[in-house]
Amino acid sequence: MNKKLTPLKENFSAWYNELVKQADLAEPTAPRGAMIIKPYGYALWEAVKNLLDQKIKETGHQNAYFPLLIPASYFAKEEDHIQGFAKECAIVTHYRLTTHADGKGIMLDPNARLESPLVVRPTSETIIWESFRKWIQSYRDLPMLINQWANVVRWEMRTRPFLRTSEFLWQEGHTAHNTREEALDHAHQMLQVYCDIIRNELAIPLIEGEKTAHERFAGAEATYTMEALMQDGKALQLGTSHFLGQNFAKAFDVRFVNQEGALTHVWGTSWGITTRLIGALIMVHGDDQGLTIPPRIAPIQVVVIPVFRSGTSQEILIEKATSIRKTLASHGIRVKLDQRDTHQPGWKFHEYEKKGVPLRLVLGPRDLANHTIEMLRRDTGEKRVISLDRLVSVVEEQLIAIQDNLYKRALAFQKKSIHYVDHLDQLQNIMQRDRGFVMAHWDGTTATEEAIKQMTQATIRCIPFDSSEEAGRCIYTRKSSQRRVLFATAY
Amino acid sequence: MNKKLTPLKENFSAWYNELVKQADLAEPTAPRGAMIIKPYGYALWEAVKNLLDQKIKETGHQNAYFPLLIPASYFAKEEDHIQGFAKECAIVTHYRLTTHADGKGIMLDPNARLESPLVVRPTSETIIWESFRKWIQSYRDLPMLINQWANVVRWEMRTRPFLRTSEFLWQEGHTAHNTREEALDHAHQMLQVYCDIIRNELAIPLIEGEKTAHERFAGAEATYTMEALMQDGKALQLGTSHFLGQNFAKAFDVRFVNQEGALTHVWGTSWGITTRLIGALIMVHGDDQGLTIPPRIAPIQVVVIPVFRSGTSQEILIEKATSIRKTLASHGIRVKLDQRDTHQPGWKFHEYEKKGVPLRLVLGPRDLANHTIEMLRRDTGEKRVISLDRLVSVVEEQLIAIQDNLYKRALAFQKKSIHYVDHLDQLQNIMQRDRGFVMAHWDGTTATEEAIKQMTQATIRCIPFDSSEEAGRCIYTRKSSQRRVLFATAY
């Protein structure tokens, strides 16, 4: 059975949840707020992971692995950090279960209580900086460039697959540097690595900038972010890169002897992206028919479906379809042949449409005679019959065109949705109607930021890097301001 | 400073721990029993992971990701399973920490106790079979072939880096099948996939067979294993593949409509290998100078070290060394150039020797004139001066030769260490002296197996697949036996 999705414009949240389920990306499961990432969803994550892992290595980092369970006392060392994270952790207190006295069911073994509790990592700064203290003695040990692929747990009250789950997968980079300037540059460089992949491979337009003090990572001196606009007009933060200053170096006493022989604290950065990117992909490129995956990260770029009609030879059709699959695969195209006879062609069409496969090729009996195949573009719905002689070049060209079109379409939507406003009521109106990105003046205080959020639900997503100087007045206090900042209602 | 390792024959355990530290593979850390896998150790794991992931996909499996935290009640569903695993789990009972009333330090928030505890997964059968119930309805859904790369936690009392740690990384395959035969075949097939990689890539000889009922996985009908012999004469289990019968299908009520329209339970398998493989690599191929890594999985296959002497041009030497690095890299050889001037050549020689880099190339001023380079094999210590004209072919040939030699050397040791005995005192003597593998008759009962362990410390590692029928008498009870089984003291 192929069920239709609730239309995106009717109920975005229902559309999203149905799409995640119907495209077989993930499903919610116990415990509350957790999800299973199903094979098709995981293949998307693997595509992102492979691309990013290569870039992380090319920029000089090495992967390592640190423990999942962190002594609670580590979190107490950096004051802001504990404030920011202690409220949402899973805590291990026991190391054994035992069966009930009546032999039915199981319970905590009261004799197996840990002397001090362990935190399931919500992020790994504490344990990594604890190691940096041991690993770093001299300027020769710097820069220390470490990355970890891992799962983390944060206790969330309101969850949604990919966007906010109690456990998620991510990559967390942690680095230590000789100078403030080098660390600052590094934090910027890694944000740029993310942006390049997200723009070029995921085809998602971004606005980059710095977070306000209020939205900064707990323990950072500066947090850089990339924000994207979803089709419901809400913003999603896709990843952050933090300049930690010497905060963690001081909290964990990480010092080194510099070139001049002086003992001094190192400078740090940390940066991460998560499985949330899959959520962004859905909300930026999806439509009422389902997902649309940018070809460069599509697990399946092309699906080939043979369509039998009574009286024609199935064998010849499958033979031809197989040879088409092989030809495309030999050119490095990720192609799947679906020749199952347990499902009808119509069912298959819907299936790959929902799953967002960029190109569909349908081979029917008539094509055999004509040496042709029917091609359908997922992004535009455009259908063409093409000659098999030109198959590879047309497919390659179309995959590039789809990638290009998805980015342009999303960029056009983003541009159309950026509003420049000078008064609070305008921001209020926009947030009550279509939402979107709003560029407006702000007086630079947390009090104003919070007041505006109270009244409009919009938060400051970032102070965009490319926001030029412009004299103006704060939309709330009318105090003077030197540049506009980016407001939006956020996930 | 380059410290010498304790000789392997003097104190194997000290040698192992020192090697892990000095080769920069891993280090113990809080909490008790945990380790940090350092970049060089993690690169070894990545090499194993990449090879195996490809094979797992080629054999039709898809990767997915299931939650880390599993409701404790799930474990109660399969009776043997809970008996086998409940004793060694990390249990999450709270979801928040709070600061002490005095503002100093942190404590559990008594108001944030979970209604029912969550287990940090020691293995994922329970949550995966819970999903299989929802995913499997018809024979069309079978076989269901799922794999997961994940971290797991088992509370261990006596730990050692890579061999036994409270948390480790692994891959766990979980499959469901139409018939008993297909599931049995699959369990065997996946063991063979492991064996191929471990023999051909890790150069470790194996003995494969079935575990006795006593040593079987909690919840399996049959457990297949591969056992390797370490240089101290102890055995290490390198991975297992389980035929689960219908145990989990019944415990989690996973039924399907078969081709004949009847509703019946599926048949299951599960199989895994872990970061323990890195420990095996060390204990099979290491020596008093450090690690020796088989070229096929070596993160660095060749290191190039330029040696400056006063009066010669550093620039020309580095230029030449760089061109050598590029030439080798362009032929797909994993090569590193170490041109740091912060370390002496002697220090570097020791460093890469400890790290087990298969080939070392040293370029000195005389080589520039002679168009030569000095090559040292890590496995044999053989040193040769070779012409740069033949560099690529000699390096390629030597890498193959080293891979081959490591396997042959380990196989010779294994063969020399297999004893056929017919009396208990012989087994006792062997286990008190050099240990090794012992093939002996056993009456097939758990009672005898336990008695023999009591008296000799040796356990039955497996009933080897290639153990041929042979009438004999149990070394303990003198009852009749049809085949010999493999005894050893195990890690």
Residue A69 and residue B153: Cβ atoms within 8 Å? yes
The pLDDT score that the predictor gives to residue A104 is 72
- Contact list in A for residue B27 (CB cut-off 8 A) is 131, 134
**Each residue of A126-153: pLDDT tens digit?**
999 999 999 999 999 999 999 999 999 9
pLDDT band at B98 (very low <50, low <70, confident <90, very high): confident
Residue B34 and residue A67: Cβ atoms within 8 Å? yes
pLDDT band at A283 (very low <50, low <70, confident <90, very high): very high
**Which of A67, A93, A342 lies closest to B29 in CB terms?**
A67
Q: Is B42 at the interface with chain A, CB within 8 A?
A: yes
pLDDT, average across residues A363-371: 93
Whether residue A103 is predicted with pLDDT greater than 90 in this model: the reply is no
CA dihedral defined by B10, B11, B12, B15, rounded to 10 degrees? -100
The pLDDT score that the predictor gives to residue A156 is 83
A341: nearest CA partner in chain B: B140
Q: Is A47 at the interface with chain B, CB within 8 A?
A: no
Angle (deg, nearest 10), helices B314-330 and B391-416: 70
Angular region, A332: left φ>0, alpha ψ -120 to 50, beta rest: left
Whether residue A87 is predicted with pLDDT greater than 90 in this model: the reply is no
CA B247 to chain centre: 27
- Contact list in B for residue A342 (CB cut-off 8 A) is 140
Amino acid at A367: D
Q: Is B140 at the interface with chain A, CB within 8 A?
A: yes
Q: Is B155 at the interface with chain A, CB within 8 A?
A: yes
What phi and psi, each to the nearest 5 degrees, are found at residue B126? -60, -50
Residue A91 and residue B93: Cβ atoms within 8 Å? yes
Q: Is A62 at the interface with chain B, CB within 8 A?
A: yes
pLDDT, average across residues A274-286: 98
Amino acid at A289: Q
Contacts for A210 with CB less than 8 Å, ≥ 6 apart: A222, A223, A224, A225, A462, A463, A465
pLDDT, average across residues B297-305: 98
pLDDT band at B204 (very low <50, low <70, confident <90, very high): very high
Residue A97 and residue B75: Cβ atoms within 8 Å? yes
The pLDDT score that the predictor gives to residue A341 is 86
**Residue A84 neighbours by CB distance under 10 Å:** 18
Q: Is A27 exposed, middle or buried (0-12, 13-18, 19+ CB in 10 A)?
A: middle
Residue B96 and residue A155: Cβ atoms within 8 Å? yes
The pLDDT score that the predictor gives to residue A76 is 81
- Order across the sheet with B69-71: list the strands: A69-71, A113-120, A90-94, B90-94, B113-120, B69-71
Q: Choosing among B61, B91, B145, which should be mutated to test the A contact, i.e. which has the most A CBs within 10 A?
A: B91
Q: Is B266 at the interface with chain A, CB within 8 A?
A: no
pLDDT band at A309 (very low <50, low <70, confident <90, very high): confident
B68: nearest CA partner in chain A: A167
The pLDDT score that the predictor gives to residue B75 is 84
pLDDT, average across residues A256-279: 97
| Residue A428, SS3 per DSSP | helix
Q: Is B383 at the interface with chain A, CB within 8 A?
A: no
Residue A89 and residue B95: Cβ atoms within 8 Å? yes
Q: Is B447 at the interface with chain A, CB within 8 A?
A: no
ipTM score assigned to the predicted complex: 0.96
B139: nearest CA partner in chain A: A342
Sign of CA dihedral A162, A164, A169, A172: positive
Whether residue A267 is predicted with pLDDT greater than 90 in this model: the reply is yes
The pLDDT score that the predictor gives to residue A28 is 93
Whether residue B78 is predicted with pLDDT greater than 90 in this model: the reply is no
Angular region, B463: left φ>0, alpha ψ -120 to 50, beta rest: beta
Residue B68 and residue A127: Cβ atoms within 8 Å? no
Report the relative pairing of strands B302-306 and B335-337 from DSSP bridges.
parallel
What phi and psi, each to the nearest 5 degrees, are found at residue B159? -115, 160
Which has the minimum average pLDDT: A236-245, A312-321, B347-356? A312-321
Task: Report the half-sphere exposure of A201 (CA within 13 A, side-chain side).
Answer: 20
3-state SS, one letter per residue, for chain B: CCCCCCCCCCCHHHHHHHHHHHCCCEEEECCCCEEEECHHHHHHHHHHHHHHHHHHHHCCCEECECCCEEEHHHHCCCHHHHHHHHHHCEEEEECCEEECCCCCCEEECCCCEEEEEEEECCCCHHHHHHHHHHHCCEHHHCCEEEEEEEEEECCCCCCECCCECCEEEEEEEEEEECCHHHHHHHHHHHHHHHHHHHHHCCCCCCEEEECCHHHCCCCCCEEEEEEEECCCCCEEEEEEEEEEECHHHHHCCCEEECCCCCEEECEEEEEEEECHHHHHHHHHHCECCECCCCHHHCCCCEEEEECCCCCCCHHHHHHHHHHHHHHHHHCCCCEEECCCCCCCHHHHHHHHHHCCCCEEEEECHHHHHHCEEEEEECCCCCEEEEEHHHHHHHHHHHHHHHHHHHHHHHHHHHHHCEEECCCHHHHHHHHHCCCCEEEEECCCCHHHHHHHHHHHCCEEEEEECCCCCCCEECCCCCCEECCEEEEECEC
**Residues of A numbered 296-335 whose beta carbons fall under 8 angstroms of chain B's beta carbons: which are they?**
none
The pLDDT score that the predictor gives to residue B2 is 62
Whether residue B368 is predicted with pLDDT greater than 60 in this model: the reply is yes
Q: How far is B131 from chain A (nearest CA, A)?
A: 9
Amino acid at A322: T
Whether residue A78 is predicted with pLDDT greater than 80 in this model: the reply is no
Residue A99 and residue B118: Cβ atoms within 8 Å? no
The pLDDT score that the predictor gives to residue B117 is 94
**Each residue of A113-127: pLDDT tens digit?**
999 999 999 999 999
**Rounded-to-integer distance, Cα B342 and Cα B340, Å:** 5
pLDDT band at A32 (very low <50, low <70, confident <90, very high): confident
Q: Is B400 at the interface with chain A, CB within 8 A?
A: no
Q: Is A93 at the interface with chain B, CB within 8 A?
A: yes
The pLDDT score that the predictor gives to residue B41 is 98
Contacts for B432 with CB less than 8 Å, ≥ 6 apart: none
Q: How far is A486 from chain B (nearest CA, A)?
A: 33
**Residues of B numbered 336-375 whose beta carbons fall under 8 angstroms of chain A's beta carbons: which are they?**
342
- Contact list in B for residue A65 (CB cut-off 8 A) is 36-37, 42, 45, 169
**% pLDDT > 90, chain A:** 88
| Residue A224, SS3 per DSSP | strand
The pLDDT score that the predictor gives to residue B342 is 84
The pLDDT score that the predictor gives to residue B88 is 83
Residue B97 and residue A88: Cβ atoms within 8 Å? no
Q: Is B95 at the interface with chain A, CB within 8 A?
A: yes
Whether residue B276 is predicted with pLDDT greater than 70 in this model: the reply is yes
If you average pLDDT over each of B20-34, B40-54, B106-120, which comes out highest? B40-54
pLDDT band at A86 (very low <50, low <70, confident <90, very high): low
Contacts for A153 with CB less than 8 Å, ≥ 6 apart: A89, A90, A120, A121, A122, A166, A167, B68, B69
- Contact list in A for residue B86 (CB cut-off 8 A) is 96-99, 106
Whether residue B80 is predicted with pLDDT greater than 60 in this model: the reply is yes
**Rounded-to-integer distance, Cα A286 and Cα A291, Å:** 4
Q: How far is B342 from chain A (nearest CA, A)?
A: 8
Maximum alpha-carbon separation in chain B? 87
**Rounded-to-integer distance, Cα A485 and Cα A474, Å:** 10
Q: Choosing among A75, A88, A91, A99, which should be mutated to test the B contact, i.e. which has the most B CBs within 10 A?
A: A91
- C-alpha distances (whole Å) from A96 to each of A56, A150, B97, B306 are 39, 25, 21, 55
Residue B86 and residue A71: Cβ atoms within 8 Å? no
Residue B118 and residue A31: Cβ atoms within 8 Å? yes
Q: Is A167 at the interface with chain B, CB within 8 A?
A: yes
**Which of B35, B64, B67 lies closest to A42 in CB terms?**
B64
Q: Is A60 at the interface with chain B, CB within 8 A?
A: no
Amino acid at B322: T
| Residue A415, SS3 per DSSP | helix
pLDDT band at A218 (very low <50, low <70, confident <90, very high): confident
- Interface A–B counts its CB contacts (< 8 A) at 194
Q: Residue ranges of the alpha helices (H) in A201-305?
A: 247-251, 276-285
Per-residue DSSP letter, A363: E
Q: How far is A441 from chain B (nearest CA, A)?
A: 37
Whether residue A298 is predicted with pLDDT greater than 60 in this model: the reply is yes
- Order across the sheet with B459-464: list the strands: B62-63, B144-153, B167-177, B267-274, B235-245, B222-229, B207-210, B459-464, B484-488, B437-441, B418-420
Q: Is B167 at the interface with chain A, CB within 8 A?
A: yes
Average pLDDT, chain B: 95
- Contact list in B for residue A106 (CB cut-off 8 A) is 72-73, 75-76, 82, 86
Task: Answer for the pair A435, A229: CB distance below 8 angstroms, yes or no.
Answer: no
**Rounded-to-integer distance, Cα A374 and Cα A354, Å:** 19
Strands in A190-279 per DSSP E: 207-210, 222-229, 235-245, 255-257, 263-265, 267-274
If you average pLDDT over each of A28-32, A401-405, B306-310, B337-341, which comes out highest? A401-405
A76: nearest CA partner in chain B: B105
The pLDDT score that the predictor gives to residue B31 is 84
Q: Is B89 at the interface with chain A, CB within 8 A?
A: yes
Please choose, from the candidates B164, B43, B413, B23, the residue with its C-alpha nearest in 3D space to the C-alpha of residue B15.
B23
Residue A97 and residue B91: Cβ atoms within 8 Å? yes
Q: How far is B106 from chain A (nearest CA, A)?
A: 7
**Residue B189 neighbours by CB distance under 10 Å:** 13
B97: nearest CA partner in chain A: A86
- Contact list in A for residue B50 (CB cut-off 8 A) is none
The pLDDT score that the predictor gives to residue A85 is 65
**% pLDDT > 70, chain B:** 98
Please choose, from the candidates B431, B423, B482, B421, the residue with its C-alpha nearest in 3D space to the C-alpha of residue B456.
B431
